[in-house]
Structure 1
Amino acid sequence: MNKETTEILIVGAGPAGSVAAAMLRQQGRKVLIVERERFPRFSIGESLLPQSMEYIEAAGLLQDVVEAGFQYKNGAAFAYGDRRTEFDFRDKFSPGWGTTYQVQRANFDHLLAKGAERMGAEVRFGHEVLAVEPGERPRVAVRAPEDGEYVIEADFILDASGFGRLLPRLLKLESPSNFPVRGAIFTHVRDNIPPESDFDRNKILITTHPQHVDVWYWTIPFSNGCCSLGVVAEREFLDRYPGSELERLQAIVGEDPNLSRLLAKAEWGVMPAKQIVGYSANVASLWGPGYALLGNAGEFLDPVFSSGVTIAFKSAQLAAECLRRKYAGASVDWEADFSIPLRAGVKTFRRFVEAWYQGGFQKIIYFEKAQPEVRAMICSILAGYAWDTDNPYVADESGRRMRVLEELCAA
């Protein structure tokens, strides 16, 4: 069996893998990406957060993204019955980017992968990793579409395989998520929302089901007149609805009068409706001998605050910095320098996700007498700045500040 060598092997050409590759190429590293799929290919996670732009810029891929024609995004709008509120991310507490984009992931991911190639990374599409041997010189067995199997030996492996979760599966690293088993049914529609409506195409719209506080819909507008539309609920709720995925989604959307009116002229069938269930995931460790896990390969919380791509980019940035120090001859503690910092931000998002499904966070965002400075702090986390410890709601690891705020807003 043929054997190749590289410095950094990245498994997966999605956002985490491509941004990590671009950052490592800036360091002069030899980078090889192997990707099982052929691009472009569909993925969910279509509404970016402004914090993501910092990592895109640091990777040297900003111009690629800005010139691609994606839908501009400056915030998030929320609706629950007759209640409405919105957050403009430019009014956040944390410094940094306040705008971003809503993207068709097939195009976005392909664009980032091509950007990594432009910067000198080699990307092999249609190559599937079959086995991995961790260690000081980790090795993987790969199956190529035409040439059969071969082996790659690397200095280090970054698993950016997303929901495929390659190394967690092969190395038995998975641990149960403490979130209930939820699922999502989703599609793309040509929305035909009239310009005179109050729908702001520069914001994602998150709508809470009128009778179920833990069921919500996303409406993500794109620049081509279409939008991504989906519903998220516990599996038992979704299983109540018969028919095809499209029929089930239409039935659940039909239960919200405001969303039904907004999409009254929508053309369905732009994309087949799909369902995913049990996507929340966790691992015992984010790193091991000769490897680290990036993005969804390590942990995925929930789509409600669109945190997935931001976490993926943050993991790429932290891993690239650890590898920069490694090649400079410095000692790298992957737990202290990679895992703990990454999990700190994930924990912040987790507190907000849990508060959302329990209903407390919804009391906060719809509170009519909110102090502007507190609202700006909440806005920062919604914009992805979950690692800004100057923000009291990030620094408060116990969640006590959030609980007090919920009580004040519910009084």
Structure 2
Amino acid sequence: MSRSAVPKKAQILVLGGGPAGSYTACMLALEGFDVVLLEAAKFPRYHIGESMLPSCPQFLKLIDLEETVENFGFCNKPGAALKLVGEKKEAYTDFIRTHPENRSWNVTRADFDEILLRHAEKVGVKVFEETRAFSIKFVNDNPKGRPLAVKWQNIIDRNVSGTVSFEYLVDATGRDGIMAQKYLKHRKVNTSLRNVACWGYWKGAGVYGVGTSRENAPWFEAHTEESGWNWFIPLHNGMTSVGVVINEDAGNQRKLAAKRANGGVASTLKRHYLDCLQLSPGLIDLLGDAKLLEDGPYPVVQSASDFSYNAPTYSGDHYRLIGDAAAFIDPFFSSGVHLALTGGLAAAVSIASSIRGEYSETEGCKYHDAKIGVAYTRFLVVVLSAYKQMRAQNRSVLSDFDEDNFDRAFDIIRPVIQGDADVGRRMSEDELQKLIALCGSALLPVDPEVYARVVSRLDTKLVDPRGAIVTPEEIDLLVPNDLEARLVLKEINARKSTGGLFLTISDSFEEVTAGFSARVHRGNIGLISHAPKANSTSGFSIQVGKARPSHLPHLLLLFFGVVLALLFHQYGTFGVV
């Protein structure tokens, strides 16, 4: 669209055209709402974060984009390999073994993000690129109140600027987060995850699992000195994304040591990057004779802070925060786009219900906040459990959680830890440390042959991946003298508890949060009210079809349930990516 075509008024204004913003805009435009999207960059534009989760295709199906992305030719991602302990075999998470539809991709984000943005245009979103929002006007000039209008400016021709008013605002401006950083000022960095990332692209690298069902799965490996981890992600264009995530202090110490060893001359970013790659010998083996790409359109090695952060709220009167504008979690479990689309859908259904007068803004905001808060906290817990194993330390992490969000999630898993239904009190530091430790074995690395052998001889109801969750204690009683069966059953039940990482959207999110679930029928998306019942707990949900409350008791264990009770101290592996 032309630079001067930004309208003076919109029903819904979306700031940011990344996955979160484009997805929300698509969902709302498909409902017939008037949606305007402002994006500061010109697409396609580069972005890191190439590894997708199996939930991604399922989210895309809701906006009729799954087939388009599938046909683009991105590298298929059948699972993921993780090596957290040097002397032990890597764990492997097989996405498609039990559910072929759970495949995902390793993507080039410039292409993936542009596909989403162009689809938004196709379904009726008015998209304006190279247009930056630089200030927001609020009712009574109160930044904690309702936003009314945004001042924008074209970044190429600064003489082109204007103001657009709106009824609803969706902030998807990424880490810059105009609402969170400039106005709300409520973002909190998690001190346990102050990391720095650096990365580059290689040509001629090897392939993990070549010739097997694991071929092209990404590889994630902890540093031998317990300072962080490295990634190895094959891409469809023949390149391999190879990166380093290192604790900020540890990284600075390595740079200082290199400077001393080099006669006082500071190490370059490239030298630091190559040095850190040596901390993951399995990754070095995969690189083989590969060459670092030095003649591409981007810097040879790029770097960015990788601090995880969240906030006490992600919405307010007629506005929603989504994607990295809301919260960011360490990328060890490739959760970025998953959380972006999760938040985008929450924003869309809550705004749709508000517009239609079904529920109040207060109710919609409560749902949106709880959904993003719990999703973030779930990933935070499993990320911290992985880091605890990588770093082999036992430090307090209690202060890093937003207590309200954590308590909501912890209420779901407390009965698994304690063996009772006590949900009325705050967690103790001891309980939290127990949670982090036990969470370290979400999926056990059972060989496919063993898995097939066990499944063929056990009762089909017992091995049904969509059946009720069976606790580790129950499994031990059912097959007390059958080690193979115990391992397979614990893996199956761990997968039941990993939410959007493996299951379909309808199975993964059919829970209730803040008294609501989400209705995602085309032309009638919105919230579904679930009257609270005595002594009930609240999870969170995306509903495809009618509410099915009979499933809630087991689905409330979503993501955590059995994960927490697997034998971490015995197997020491973690495999949810």
| TM exceeding 0.5 | yes
Letter in 1 for 2:376: V
| Superposition deviation, residue 132 in structure 1 | 0.8
Report the Cα distance in structure 1 between the residues aligned to 2:230 and 2:200, rounded to whole angstroms. Answer: 12
* Bigger relative contact order, structure 1 or 2 (CA pairs below 8 A, ≥6 apart): 1
The corresponding residue for 1:342 is 372
Structure 2 residue 162 is matched with structure 1 residue 150:
yes
Letter in 1 for 2:184: K
Structure 2 residue 237 is matched with structure 1 residue 224:
yes
Structure 2 residue 273 is matched with structure 1 residue 249:
yes
* Secondary structure at 1:138 match in 2: strand
Report the Cα distance in structure 2 between the residues aligned to 1:3 and 1:56, rounded to whole angstroms. Answer: 28
Instruction: Evaluate the alpha carbon distance shift between residue 134 and residue 313 of structure 1 in structure 2; reply closer, same or farther with a 3 A threshold.
Output: farther
Instruction: Evaluate the alpha carbon distance shift between residue 236 and residue 142 of structure 1 in structure 2; reply closer, same or farther with a 3 A threshold.
Output: same
Residue pair 2:209, 2:217 contacting (<8 A) in 1 also: no
| Superposition deviation, residue 59 in structure 1 | 1.6
The corresponding residue for 1:84 is 90
Structure 2 residue 501 is matched with structure 1 residue 383:
yes
RMSD: 2.9
The corresponding residue for 2:402 is none
Letter in 2 for 1:87: T
| TM-score normalised by L of structure 1 | 0.90
Cα displacement string for residues 373-399 of structure 1 (whole angstroms, at most 9, x for unaligned residues): 332344462826574667999745996
Farther-moved stretch of structure 1 (319-328 vs 114-123)? 319-328
- The residue correspondences of 1:15-94 to structure 2 (distance < 5 A) are 15-79=19-83, 80-81=85-86, 82-91=88-97
Farther-moved stretch of structure 1 (281-290 vs 153-162)? 281-290
Residue pair 1:134, 1:289 contacting (<8 A) in 2 also: no
| Superposition deviation, residue 204 in structure 1 | 1.7
Please, which of 151, 164, 178 is the counterpart of residue 166 of structure 1? Answer: 178
Number of equivalent positions = 408
Report the Cα distance in structure 2 between the residues aligned to 1:139 and 1:231, rounded to whole angstroms. Answer: 41
* Secondary structure at 1:90 match in 2: coil
Report the Cα distance in structure 2 between the residues aligned to 1:365 and 1:232, rounded to whole angstroms. Answer: 23
Query: Which protein is bigger by CA-based radius of gyration?
Result: 2
The corresponding residue for 2:454 is none
| Superposition deviation, residue 193 in structure 1 | 1.4
Letter in 1 for 2:153: R
The corresponding residue for 1:139 is 149
| Superposition deviation, residue 5 in structure 1 | 0.1
Report the Cα distance in structure 1 between the residues aligned to 2:205 and 2:331, rounded to whole angstroms. Answer: 25
Instruction: Evaluate the alpha carbon distance shift between residue 187 and residue 377 of structure 1 in structure 2; reply closer, same or farther with a 3 A threshold.
Output: farther
Farther-moved stretch of structure 1 (394-403 vs 261-270)? 394-403
> % of aligned pairs identical?
23
Report the Cα distance in structure 2 between the residues aligned to 1:192 and 1:338, rounded to whole angstroms. Answer: 42
Cα displacement string for residues 278-314 of structure 1 (whole angstroms, at most 9, x for unaligned residues): 4312123101122110111101111000111101101
Please, which of 189, 206, 218 is the counterpart of residue 220 of structure 2? Answer: 206
The corresponding residue for 1:409 is 570
Instruction: Evaluate the alpha carbon distance shift between residue 399 and residue 310 of structure 1 in structure 2; reply closer, same or farther with a 3 A threshold.
Output: closer
The corresponding residue for 2:195 is 182
The corresponding residue for 2:131 is 127
Report the Cα distance in structure 2 between the residues aligned to 1:197 and 1:96, rounded to whole angstroms. Answer: 19
Structure 2 residue 316 is matched with structure 1 residue 288:
yes
Cα displacement string for residues 188-225 of structure 1 (whole angstroms, at most 9, x for unaligned residues): 1114316985794431211122231x521111111122
Residue pair 1:307, 1:384 contacting (<8 A) in 2 also: no
* Secondary structure at 1:375 match in 2: helix
Instruction: Evaluate the alpha carbon distance shift between residue 245 and residue 365 of structure 1 in structure 2; reply closer, same or farther with a 3 A threshold.
Output: farther
Farther-moved stretch of structure 1 (195-204 vs 100-109)? 195-204
Residue pair 1:89, 1:379 contacting (<8 A) in 2 also: no
* Secondary structure at 2:90 match in 1: strand
Letter in 2 for 1:62: E
Report the Cα distance in structure 2 between the residues aligned to 1:309 and 1:376, rounded to whole angstroms. Answer: 25
The corresponding residue for 2:332 is 304
- Give the strand-richer structure, 1 or 2: 1
Please, which of 482, 489, 512 is the counterpart of residue 373 of structure 1? Answer: 489
In structure 1, list runs of 5 or more residues that go unmatched.
none
Instruction: Evaluate the alpha carbon distance shift between residue 378 and residue 267 of structure 1 in structure 2; reply closer, same or farther with a 3 A threshold.
Output: farther
